[in-house]
Chain A
Amino acid sequence: QVQLQELGPGLVEPSETLSLTCTVSDGSINSYYWSWIRQPPGKGLEWIGYIYYTGTANYNPSLKNRVTISVDTSKNQFSLKLRSVTAADTAMYFCARGVNYVDYWGQGTLVTVSS
């Protein structure tokens, strides 16, 4: 079955850019929507945005000015960039498959924003 794995730095300095990549294995990235969802420690879930394998993306308006999601079908990967981060962006970041609901999730990666 499809597996997703997030990779990226666990610590980002304030005002810098958070960058994560999700590798999709045991399945093709083609013909599906892919999402990023985050969860601050001890809190609920927030949908950051999603991208279709063709490259069309949509972002949560609360983050729209700071976020970019991209896809690389040749590598079966999609990526997240979140600019100008603050402590409020500290969270577990999940990559996921789906645009309406998520049927496959990565295990998540904790990103802490701190100097």
Chain B
Amino acid sequence: EIVVTQSPVTLSVSPGERATLSCRASESVKSNLAWYRQKPGQAPRLLIYTASTRATGIPARFSGSGSGTEFTLTISSLQSEDFAVYYCQQFNNWPHTFGPGTKLEI
């Protein structure tokens, strides 16, 4: 099973600032990685798939990059709705696995 890790565990930022979240896989997943945002009490929402493709309806302030084992999610100008938990997930090998999450807080 591929182990996915995320850093930092918590990131404290201010609205309007830029946030950079990291995700690492224990072996290469090529570009088979997705990012989700989960607000409290809600299901996750798909943000990015295949490492860098924005999902339908996702604003351009979200961008993803990376391949192999190292990935990054960048949020260029934080809005109030962006303060949530972010998960990355690999889909190169079954079982597909999620990282433990990064909490973005004010």
Contacts and interface: CB of A to CB of B under 8 A. Distances in A.
Helix, strand, loop or mixed for chain A's interface?
loop
B100 A61 contact: no
B87 A100 contact: no
Contacts of A62: 95
A101 B87 contact: no
Interface in A80-104: 94, 96, 99-103
Helix, strand, loop or mixed for chain B's interface?
loop
Contacts of B55: 103
Interface stretch (A15-23, A24-32, A44-52, A69-77): A44-52
Contact of A60 (B36, B87, B95, B100): B95
Range of interface residues on B (Cβ < 8 Å): 20 to 34
B91 A105 contact: no
B43 A106 contact: yes
Given A45-B87, A45-B89, A102 B44 contact: yes
Given A44-B87, A101-B34, A107 B94 contact: no
B96 interface: yes
Interface of B: 1, 32, 34, 36, 42-46, 49, 55-56, 87, 89, 91, 94-101
